[in-house]
Amino acid sequence: MYTPKYFQENDWNTVSEFIRKHAFALLVSIHGGEPFGTHIPVELEETEPGTFVLRGHISNDNPQSQDFTTGQTFLAVFTDPHAYISSSWYEKEKIPTWNYIAVHIYGKLRILTEAELTDSLTKLMDKYESTSKCPVHISDIPEKSLQNNLRAITGFEMSLDRVETRFKLSQNRNDRDYNEIIHQLRSSGDTQAAEIAEEMAKRRKAEQ
């Protein structure tokens, strides 16, 4: 991913927090000589202090599952939020742009054992069921149904061999334009625009 230095985010705590918050990723491989992508939840896990992996699963009917044993490098793309930046907000320049956050992770895959897959699914359900009024736990699924579903999917663990970031948040703008962009995004009523504004406000002292 092309990223000028001033748009790079090198703080791992910031990057990992973003991955966990925006965990619905695009998993990309080369299948039959062409790029192939699957949109799935992918969770960041710390297997031991300072060592991280990505875990997820796909249907066995998905052709991409055939790529899991090829030894190739996979790409996981995490993105959102994003917002249009109007040049009318600038003091002088008249070229509009787009602010956004994206993280690309490259790594090799290992297929999970059934026990590891069950553990991964348990954590996934617990995470997303935590806000439900009537949360469902994996133990609530009848054993036969659970086993049938486990046989229909393949779980994977992906190493973090290379991490690329692009936190494009108007870092190249002067203070006047920067503060005006934050103001306009906050006033737009759009939730993604508001999230971009808050990310910008964290990085440079902004007028409130």
So what's the pLDDT on residue 207? 45
Q: Is residue 27 part of a domain?
A: yes
Tokens (6 digits) for 175:
């203070």
Do residues 55 and 117 touch, judged by C-beta distance below 8 A?
no
Cis link prior to 81 (omega < 30° from 0)?
Answer: yes
Q: Mind listing the pLDDT tens digit for each residue in 23-47?
A: 999 999 999 999 999 999 999 999 9
CATH number at residue 88: 2.30.110.10
pTM for the whole structure? 0.93
pLDDT band, residue 93 (cuts 50/70/90):
confident
Q: How far apart are CA 103 and CA 201, in angstroms?
A: 20
Q: Is residue 179 part of a domain?
A: no
Q: Tokens 């999230």 label which residue? A: 195
Domain that includes residue 154, residue range = 5-173
Q: Is residue 157 part of a domain?
A: yes
Tokens (6 digits) for 88:
């009318």
**Residue 102 in this model has a pLDDT that exceeds 70:** yes
- The number of folded domains in the chain is 1
Q: Is residue 184 part of a domain?
A: no
Tokens (6 digits) for 127:
């995470």
CB burial class (10 A; 0-12, 13-18, 19+) of residue 88? exposed
**Residue 208 in this model has a pLDDT that exceeds 50:** no
Degrees, nearest 5: CA angle 69-77-105: 65
Q: Mind listing the pLDDT tens digit for each residue in 146-174?
A: 999 999 999 999 999 999 999 999 999 99
Do residues 38 and 26 touch, judged by C-beta distance below 8 A?
yes
Sequence-distant (6+) residues with CB within 8 A of 11 are none
Q: How far apart are CA 93 and CA 98, in angstroms?
A: 14
Q: Is residue 109 part of a domain?
A: yes
So what's the pLDDT on residue 33? 97
Sequence-distant (6+) residues with CB within 8 A of 34 are none
